[in-house]
Amino acid sequence: MSGENAVLMDIRNTVATVTINRPEALNSLNTDAFLGLKKAAEKIKENPEIRAVILTGAGEKSFSAGIDLKMVAASQGGSDTFAEYRMGFDRLYGLKSIWTLYEDLPVPVIAAINGYCFGAGFELTLCCDMRLSCDTAMFSLPEIRFGVIPDLGSTQRLPRIVSPGIAKELIITGRRINAAEALRVGLVDHVYTRDQLMDEAVKLAEEIAALNPRIVEGAKRAVNMAMRTSLDAGLRLETDICLGAGSGASFDSQAQEFLSKNKK
């Protein structure tokens, strides 16, 4: 499969479906997949017709099995030391920034988790606004077993989604949990059969797409800011966003300006 097909994007009406398309490698993430995900997010941001996004994996086994270890080995000239791959602040932060593109998109992003969801793939779903899972999905952050800390955002995002204790347990042990346990701890929002998953994801995306896109964007920005500010600051920002919903002001710039004025 050519590198340019490592990530596919299909736009139907106002819903974009982004698919990690390496099923022969359980949709593990290599350079082509990272670049493909980056380009897809940039295209979505530039397209005002898109009002909702579904993010999923190709095939029936895996959303994403995480970083492609073959890419890691190649980057090290054959070394087996997994930790060496993540040397350098700029390089590592650059990878994180691709995931953050999905978190910061003005439209809601729905993860349709159709199987294995490990490592960097798991961390990508944490940037999505809603997480739907099939009932056979498995979740894990196994990096600690390779001698590194999970470093594409899970140490910061996971405790904001599940309890800090559950986050630490999953990060420190690297153990796997199934879809039922993921639902119990709040990691995913809904669990469906494999046959139902994409239908339900499309149904949710179309429901969102039918709403006023500017109001949806403002609501997403306000909720995202709840994770980054104190309650009082968040309430003030919510007020600013609501008052600005009828104007042409950018919610993103509005939020950044507010944060700069309300630093602790």
Q: Is 207 a catalytic residue?
A: no
User: Do the bridges between strand 177-178 and strand 138-140 make them parallel or antiparallel, or are there none, so unpaired?
Assistant: antiparallel
Q: Which of 123, 200, 217, 238 is catalytic?
A: 123
Q: Which two tokens stand for residue 50?
A: 């898109």
CA distance 184 to 156: 20
Q: Which of 49, 103, 143, 257 is catalytic?
A: 143
CA distance 134 to 110: 13
Residue 147 CA from chain centroid, whole number:
24
Sheet strands (E) in the chain: 7-12, 15-20, 52-57, 62-64, 109-113, 116-118, 130-134, 138-140, 177-178, 190-192
Q: Is 169 a catalytic residue?
A: no
Q: Which residues are catalytic?
A: 123, 143
